[in-house]
């Protein structure tokens, strides 16, 4: 799949998705344990991001930038902190650290062994492609060798959104490209009624 941007062409090299609807916390931790990771202190959101990204590790080098977008970070961890604070007047520093916006990207850079740009972006249905746009800009400026772009959703209570993660690995290397994809058409493709991850997964090659 080919992207046109800023006069340059970019290619999706690899993709992966992990859908977690109905998967409990224990199962997520076990899956990460199979990868050699201790997930006991990680938020569910971070676990979902890791399970979506880890299969792409063989294709990633230390100069791969990481760009992660989400509607919200970890609703379950936030609710736990809030109730603990309200009921016991006792904030949990460890829960707070697990829920800050860059916790997931920090874990991704550690696990994937990258040492260049990484960022978490809060997005909505109008700004869903911001992580992709930023990644393409950094690629065009040769700040990174490739870009790992991901969208992760931890489902909150009563939410009908698909839970999980979708990741694309993009570079300027055109080998094995499939088809062109217009960024403008992507931007016009979302509405507030669409399932966030399902839509991204549908257009993923």
Quote the pLDDT of residue 54: 98
pLDDT at 180 over 70: no
* Contact status, residue 57 vs residue 78, Cβ threshold 8 Å: no
pLDDT at 164 over 80: yes
Say which residue, 141 or 177, is predicted with more confidence. Answer: 141
Average pLDDT over residues 3-26: 83
Residue percentage of the chain with pLDDT more than 70: 72
Query: Which are the contacts of 168, defined by CB distance < 8 A and separation ≥ 6?
Result: 12, 14, 15, 132, 148, 149, 150, 204
* Contact status, residue 104 vs residue 120, Cβ threshold 8 Å: yes
**Could you give the angle at the alpha carbon of 81 between the alpha carbons of 69 and 49, nearest 5°?**
25
Quote the pLDDT of residue 23: 94
pLDDT at 63 over 90: yes
pLDDT at 185 over 70: no
Average pLDDT over residues 94-107: 66
Quote the pLDDT of residue 187: 67
């Amino acid at each position: 799949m080919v992207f046109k941007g800023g006069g340059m062409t970019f290619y999706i090299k690899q993709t992966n998705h992990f859908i977690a609807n109905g998967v409990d916390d224990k199962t997520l931790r076990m899956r990460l344990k199979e990868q050699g990771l201790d997930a006991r202190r990680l938020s569910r959101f971070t676990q979902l991001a890791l399970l979506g990204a880890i299969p792409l590790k063989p294709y990633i080098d230390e100069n791969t930038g990481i760009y992660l977008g989400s509607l919200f970070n970890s609703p379950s961890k936030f609710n736990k902190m809030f109730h603990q604070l309200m009921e016991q007047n006792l904030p949990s520093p460890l829960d707070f650290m697990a829920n800050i916006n860059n916790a997931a990207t920090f874990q991704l850079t550690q696990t994937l062994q990258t040492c260049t740009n990484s960022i978490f972006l809060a997005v909505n249905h109008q700004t869903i492609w911001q992580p992709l746009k930023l990644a393409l800009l950094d690629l065009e400026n040769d700040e990174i060798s490739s870009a790992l772009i991901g969208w992760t959703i931890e489902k909150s209570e009563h939410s009908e959104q698909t839970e999980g993660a979708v990741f694309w690995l993009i570079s300027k290397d055109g080998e094995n490209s499939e088809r062109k994809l217009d960024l403008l058409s992507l931007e016009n493709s979302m509405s507030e009624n669409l399932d966030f991850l399902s839509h991204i997964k549908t257009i993923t090659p």
